[in-house]
Amino acid sequence: MNRVDPLLLGEDLTAQLARLDMGGLGCVELLEQQLAAITASQPILNAYVAIDESAARAAAADSDARRKAGQARALEGVTIAIKDNLDVAGMVSTAGMATRRDAAVAVRDSTAVARLREAGAVIIGKLNMHEAALGADNNNPHFGACHNPHRPGFTPGGSSGGSGAAVAAGLCSAALGTDSMGSVRIPASYCGVVGLKPSWGAISTHGSVALSHRLDHVGPLTRSARDLRRLLPVLAGFDPASAQSRSITMLPTSTGPLRLGIVDFGDAVHCNDDVAAEFVRSLDVLFGLGHRRVDLPAPAFPPGHARRAGLLVCEAELLVEHRHDWQHQRDRFSPMLAKLMSYAEGRSAADLVDASRLLDRAQVQLQQWLAACDVLVTPTTPQRAFAFADAVPANQADLTGYANFSGNPALSVPMAVGEGELPLGLQLVGRVGDELRLIALAEAFQHATRWQPRLPAASHSWGMS
């Protein structure tokens, strides 16, 4: 472990790229330090399910050669880790499921992974996730629980829990996740990193194991908001191979003050007191930057109703996505996942239409809020990360689900919590194509709070600080 530099591993992707650009750091050296950190942390965090070290080393060596020849691409030599429901050529996409553990390896990259490779990124491996992406604690019964690097024994969130944990622990320069009702933003909130769910269709989902064609989004997790400026142009773009892909025009960043919408959720969403207090302090920071508050009415119906409708849509689509395995090896689905899918199996077509229409109502609700403001601001999650021994809160996705139901972009940025406290996320939601505005606002918030990326204090337990 004497090769591991915790300061380097704690830096964001932008800073690591700057080191590579200046020649003071080699691509192979960066990879080797991250591989050593993965080896040290894996028994504690279990963030990865597979690593192709030889392929990663070959890619890093190629990146060093390109840099030496003056042919560096946008992401030359930084490492990206991939949630295990996105195809990486030569690796199995398990989607966290026992039924897919022995599936054939992918013959080609998913579109998002291919775009990262084309930009020079080194694909380091596949990340742990909640089984079938239907859940938000990442207590995976087949591959083991992935732990929060700020407090092992606690959830990193999900379903992209391995993505949040790996980024927070410095085990990659950035990661890809998927988000159907908050699965990028919830782990970003719990792990103290940044997570972006872009506009629906902006980043292709082609080459993924689907949870819901209506709700699925691919999104990056990073250690800073500014990293998203590096990744989004690489990842976004119309993909004719994907029925869900759209050509999204990214709107320019605003220079003037914004109208920030604050919803009166009342009793519709129960936020823990500590979350509510941190949220108020974060709003003070935003208003101190010159932005204006717009108070918005309570939702027309509790967001939990839409969340449950979204779950039914996902459960029903899993019956189609995994039809063969459900018919022939149902015993390899965990009892919890089998229960959820069996529930959908007993619903009627009319029930599914009712659920879809309720999601439409949630979409209209968000559109009405955004008609009165520029950016909607909420806590990302109503609670901090919790112990695996505790009951899973039903309302984890109550605040994140709206942006999936509507297809609007949403971003989670860490709030400035006290020393030793578990992280919390601040959610920013914008209109379709407003990703750059959200990123700029998140950057300004991080600058105002003097936030700096660094490894969690708990990393000393695996020899990294």
Residue with the two structure tokens 């599914």? 352
Does the annotation count 173 as an active-site position? no
Q: Which of 63, 159, 199, 224 is catalytic?
A: 159
Beta bridge partners, 375, equal 260
Q: Which amino acid is at 159?
A: S
Q: Which of 93, 110, 173, 183 is catalytic?
A: 183
Q: Which of 41, 63, 83, 212 is catalytic?
A: 83
**Which residues touch 251 (CB under 8 Å, ≥6 apart)?**
431, 433, 434, 436, 437
Q: How far apart are CA 204 and CA 206, in angstroms?
A: 5
Does the annotation count 183 as an active-site position? yes
Please provide residue 451's backbone torsions phi and psi, each rounded to the nearest 5 degrees.
-75, 135
SS3 of the chain: the string is CCCCCHHHHHCCHHHHHHHHHHCCCCHHHHHHHHHHHHHHHHHHHCCEEEECHHHHHHHHHHHHHHHHCCCCCCCCCCEEEEECCECCCCCCCCCCCHHHCCCCCCCCCCHHHHHHHHCCCEEEEEECCCHHHCCCCCEECCCEECCCCCCCCECCCCCCHHHHHHHHCCCCCEEEEEECCCCCHHHHHHHCCEEEECCCCCECCCCECCCCCCCCEEEEEECCCCHHHHHHHHHECCCCCCCCCCCCCCCCCCCCCCEEEEECCCCCCCCCHHHHHHHHHHHHHHHHCCCEEEEECCCCCCHHHHHHHHHHHHHHHHHHHCHHHHHHCHHHCCHHHHHHHHHHHCCCHHHHHHHHHHHHHHHHHHHHHHHCCCEEEEECCCCCCCECCCCCCCCCCCCCHHHHHHCCCEEEEECCCCCCCCCCEEEEECCCCCHHHHHHHHHHHHHHCCCCCCCCHHHHHHCCC
Nearest to 176 by CA among 133, 240, 134, 213: 133
Q: Which amino acid is at 332?
A: R
Does the annotation count 126 as an active-site position? no
Angle at 464 between CA 461 and CA 465, to 5 degrees: 85
Catalytic positions are: 83, 159, 183
